[in-house]
Structure 1
Amino acid sequence: MKEPAVTDAPSEQNQARDTPADDALIAELLPLALEAARRAGALLRDGRPDDLAVAATKSSPVDVVTEMDIAAEKLITGYLAEHRPDDGFLGEEGASSVGGSGVRWVIDPLDGTVNYLYGLPTWAVSIAAERDGETLVGVVGIPMRDETFRAVRGGGAFLNDRPIRCRPAPPLERALVSTGFNYVATVRTHQAEIAQRLIPRLRDIRRGGSAAADLSDVAAGRLDGFYERGLHPWDLAAGDLIAREAGALTGGRPGTRPGWDLTVAATPGVFEPLQTLLEEYGAWHD
């Protein structure tokens, strides 16, 4: 299945200067995103039932939606709509509206659902606000790590209240890189073949299970890079901004934005050789 490329994550750091009106809008959006992520994270962390049920499947029987995914998205969209009723929404669990304000919220209420289902700690709430196809605000909350990553366009990236930067670039052979795998078996098999070819060229590969968390960890200097095929806008919108504002480079295939075909984020010096290898190995096709 082919998905359109994400339209809210430019492949190069945006250099545009915000106007006072932009600054005022960003100052309004960021606290709302932070509070919505906090509330959803608390719901997911504290409200997880012992007998958590799968509510539906998506791309395959192993790609699941739980009752908590749906509840968290309703909480987020309800809170944001209460404060900004004219904004649009794009959410993983079905929230979709154009709105009339020019602002759209791109939401993954529970990124890493399978981790959550199994009681693993790496799952995240991802909320981004975009205007005219450009992300202005990104928040990724990782409740089980007691961490909230945030960024605004041109304002740097933060972990809780601490500024963060990506790591200094190592040689590619000493780079620690994370990736993700599709839930469709044939696609996942191809992705495993790509990882097998990459491993001898890198320090090692990790698989965390949440693209939003992986992108945030690139921003925090915990990873040298991240790549994945098959990400939707809600998977990467917030994390992409956070990574870029922390000094990382992001893109898709050479000359394109991050999106369904490929998403790459890495510290400068690792980004280009990693992207080049992924292109050479055909990481962008099923």
Structure 2
Amino acid sequence: MTEVAQSGAIADRLALARSLADEAGAMALDFFNRRETLVIETKKNLQDVVSIADRTVEEMLRAKVAEAFPEDGFLGEEYGQTEGTSPFTWIVDPIDGTAPFVNGMPTWCVSIAVVRDGEPVIGVIIVPCLNELYVAAEGFGASLNGKVLTLDPARTMQNGLTGIGSNSHVTPEKVGAIVTALMANGGNLIRNGSGALMLAYVAAGKLVGYYEPYMHAWDCMAGYCLVKEAGGHYLPFPADQQGITKGAPVIAAGPGARDDIWKLADV
């Protein structure tokens, strides 16, 4: 595929991703507004929950992508991977931050990414409760509600906030050591329950960095594209077909905090 053809292929998929984000965001917000009626199930433990909203939104996204680009692969949190014949795979988390969602907090989002041969080339994250739409694509830059995002190298771990993620895959001792190292180096932390949203915050300069020792591709690929296109750095996710369905460390940072954030992974 020529460079011009690749750019056109990305543009076509970006247009669909933005449209789907609006549709998925509206659908998820409707579920959120009547969340007391939803059936909530647990996965690995009582903190790891899933609702009918997650499944319904992913089913819609799968169907619309399959209709528009039947040759593309698809990987979603709820229903796994469907391999395609093109270089492109859609990677979706229908509701990232299900725990905040079911508990009535606004820090959840719909995350839609497209990767080409394992590299994120499109990232769209919509935050319905906050009316925020983050959009990025290779060669197109990154934006928040249409405003171009460009990271400031003067923002560091010491003068900004760092996002830290944790889950049942990571021991309490490990999380404690990360927090201790961060604060000992003059940093401060936040955790809002959505890794995808905190990566979007890195791209927007709201956070100077984000680290979670274990995440899945559907949690990070859209955010990674946003961070890259805003001028930040990220730790590449395993790109092979087997690795992309498993978890891996996720690190992202703006240029002024990169070295300090990366050191947290050595704790």
Note whether the superposition's TM-score is higher than 0.5: yes
CA distance in 1, matches of 2:9, 2:16: 11
Contact 1:217 1:223 in 2 (8 A): yes
Contact 1:169 1:224 in 2 (8 A): no
CA distance in 1, matches of 2:74, 2:156: 41
1:274 aligns with 2:248: no
Q: How does 1:76-87 map to 2 (within 5 A)?
A: 76-87=61-72
Which of 1 and 2 has higher RCO (CA within 8 Å, sep 6+)? 1
Contact 2:10 2:137 in 1 (8 A): yes
Alignment deviations for residues 54-112 of structure 1 (CA, whole Å, 9 cap, x no partner): 44322322101111000110111111112112221100001421122232110000000
Shift of residue 189, structure 1, vs aligned partner: 4.4
Query: TM-score w.r.t. structure 1 length?
Result: 0.84
AA partner of residue 32 (structure 1): L
CA distance in 2, matches of 1:218, 1:171: 12
Shift of the 90–235 alpha-carbon distance from structure 1 to 2, 3 Å rule, reads: same
SS for the counterpart of 2:136 is: strand
Correspondence for 1:178 among 149, 154, 163: 163
Shift of residue 175, structure 1, vs aligned partner: 3.2
1:207 aligns with 2:194: no
SS for the counterpart of 1:80 is: helix
Query: TM-score w.r.t. structure 2 length?
Result: 0.90
Alignment deviations for residues 183-207 of structure 1 (CA, whole Å, 9 cap, x no partner): 35x6244313321332132331011
> Over aligned residues, Cα RMSD in angstroms?
2.3
Correspondence for 2:151 among 166, 169, 182: 166
Worse overlay, 92-101 or 229-238: 92-101
1:120 aligns with 2:141: no
Structure 2 unaligned regions, length at least 5: 238-243
CA distance in 1, matches of 2:177, 2:260: 18
1:143 aligns with 2:128: yes
Contact 1:128 1:237 in 2 (8 A): yes
Alignment deviations for residues 196-238 of structure 1 (CA, whole Å, 9 cap, x no partner): 3321323310111111111111111111111111110100001
Contact 2:125 2:133 in 1 (8 A): yes
Please list every run of at least 4 consecutive aligned residues from structure 1 whose deviation after the TM superposition is greater than 6 angstroms.
none
Count of residue pairs brought into register by the alignment: 260
CA distance in 1, matches of 2:262, 2:152: 17
User: Aligned residues: percent identity?
Assistant: 36
Match of 2:231 in 1: 247
Structure 1 unaligned regions, length at least 5: 1-17, 282-286
Contact 1:175 1:202 in 2 (8 A): no
CA distance in 2, matches of 1:154, 1:117: 36
Worse overlay, 134-143 or 43-52: 43-52
Shift of the 252–200 alpha-carbon distance from structure 1 to 2, 3 Å rule, reads: farther
CA distance in 2, matches of 1:118, 1:214: 18
CA distance in 1, matches of 2:231, 2:16: 25
